[in-house]
Amino acid sequence: MRLRPDKLGAFLTLLVIYGMAWAPFATLKPNRIVQGQARALSEALPAQALVLVSVLLAAAALIAFLRAAAWLKLAAGLAALLTLFMAIGQAADFLAAAGNPYARVSPASGFWLLLFAFSLMTIDALARLRPSPLLRIVLLGLAVAAFAGLKLSGDLDGLSVMKEYASRADSFWGEAMRHVSLAIGSLVAAAVVGFPVGLLCHRVPPLRKGILDLLNVIQTIPSMALFGLLIAPFAWIAANIPGASAIGVAGIGAAPAFFALFLYSLLPVVANTVAGLAGIPAETRDAARGIGLSRSELLLQVEIPLALPVILTAVRIVLVQNTGMATIAALIGGGGFGVFVFQGLGQMAVDLVLLGALPTVALAFAAATIMNAIVDTVSRIPEQGVRA
């Protein structure tokens, strides 16, 4: 049987070769702020570990290059990703001098390039396999468990970003709760308001254009500008409305950040509600009315179930969007992972920036995976199961 190269795999193999052979794998810095010295993969690991890591990564690259079965590509991609994280953890222990609390070892461009290549390989294999929604959730859980195992084992403790975490562990989880509260709370508020507004736009067409145009205008305002614009009105509310400041309303803080995220969330929820309801065939409504369903029964038993996949798609979009945008809330005292991002930028400490950026990316990815699984599950419910 003739072996043929995979087009995407050939590109990924070139990235892996460059990342392993030429790009720096880790950066050694005397302390957390000063410029460090780049180390190639061959310099970042002890001899035995270097041989093992090189063989495993090369084998995974070969599988990516060839038109192998999707399940084999998935297994190779996951094994390569696990190898990468273990390798960068060992590089931190190998490069940093024992007993030196100030030395810092950070992933360099080669590590990120290899991470990108094998992540893309894994995602492509998953797309080809088309796993069920439940299996996707299980794979996400296994990935979280694998990272938690690495963290608990101490293999990653030598990395600079983990040292930043160790010195801020208590505040990290407090900011994590604020970040999640802002993202999910604004989504819930937008769903509570946006679904009735979308239903109203569907039922009263003359209102639709004006409301959607207004929400489109809000969506075009840059996030930093909107956060800034809300400071003055919320400061006025706190100063002039009795009890407002007592419940946390102020010109800066979580209140204006929450309201800004709420405003950004309205357009996807309202627009998808309108689109979902408008996409229901007229014949379905006629059949429902023909068997005597009232207007409210038609909405609850026919229209909402059929429009639900489109509405849940909006929920997915908003959740991922808000998870990322909640980072900017730190600029006006809203808290969240953005606290570490902007502290790191102010101190020129890249690893402190990563302490805020990496969890944000991970949360957004997890939210997208979970919501995609939910949308696919709802979409697979046959229309015959909807009571008409």
Q: Is the per-residue pLDDT at 262 higher than 90? A: yes
Domain ranges of the chain: 7-157, 169-385
Q: What is the pLDDT of residues 51-67, one digit of tens each?
A: 999 999 999 999 999 88
For helices 304-325 and 169-203, give the axis angle rounded to 10 degrees. 140
Residue 380 has a pLDDT of 76
- pLDDT at residue 388 above 70? no
pTM: 0.86
Residue 386 has pLDDT above 80, yes or no: no
**pLDDT band (50, 70, 90) for residue 3:** low
| pLDDT at residue 371, rounded to an integer | 92
Mean of pLDDT values over 157-170: 89
Architecture of domain 169-385: Orthogonal Bundle (1.10)
pLDDT tens per residue, range 116-152: 999 999 999 998 998 888 888 999 999 999 989 988 8
19-40 pLDDT, tens digit per residue, is 999 999 999 888 777 778 889 9
Per-residue pLDDT of 207-260, as tens digits, reads 898 999 999 999 998 888 888 888 888 888 888 888 778 777 888 888 899 999
Segment 180-202 mean pLDDT:
93
Q: Quick one: average pLDDT of 176-187?
A: 94
